[in-house]
Amino acid sequence: MIFRCSRPALLKSPTIFFFLLKPGRIKEIDFSLSKLHPQVGFDILKDVELPWPIAQIVVEHHEKVDGSGYPKGIAESNLLVESRIMAVADGVPTSFGN
């Protein structure tokens, strides 16, 4: 299977995780920038031909079942089950450390 993603699509991704290396508390502006990553991931993956809805899973992985997540505030009934699984998997390292 060949995965296709154009180099320009990868170069469009802004550097939004610079704050991860900063000591101290995350500032609101840094948190706002970090909230861009699901959409950036979607923009990179949306044209990649895959047998699964990976781009949709990526864009939804910070949505919450009550609709309070980001980037779109989608509620449970409209979320892919794979997105909910990815959300749990994404939180495990944070919960248990490195």
Full pLDDT tens readout for the chain, 98 residues? 444 444 444 444 444 455 556 677 878 887 787 788 899 889 999 999 999 999 999 999 999 989 999 999 998 788 999 999 988 888 777 677 65
Q: What is the pTM of this model?
A: 0.72
pLDDT at 2: 44
Strand partners, 75: 66
Q: Which two tokens stand for residue 19?
A: 């704050």
- C-alpha 9/C-alpha 5 separation (Å) is 7
pLDDT at 97: 63
- C-alpha 42/C-alpha 48 separation (Å) is 10
Composition of the chain by helix, strand, coil, percent to 5:
50, 0, 45
pLDDT at 63: 92
Strand partners, 66: 75
Amino acid, res. 71: P
pLDDT at 11: 41
CB 44 within 8 A of CB 5: yes
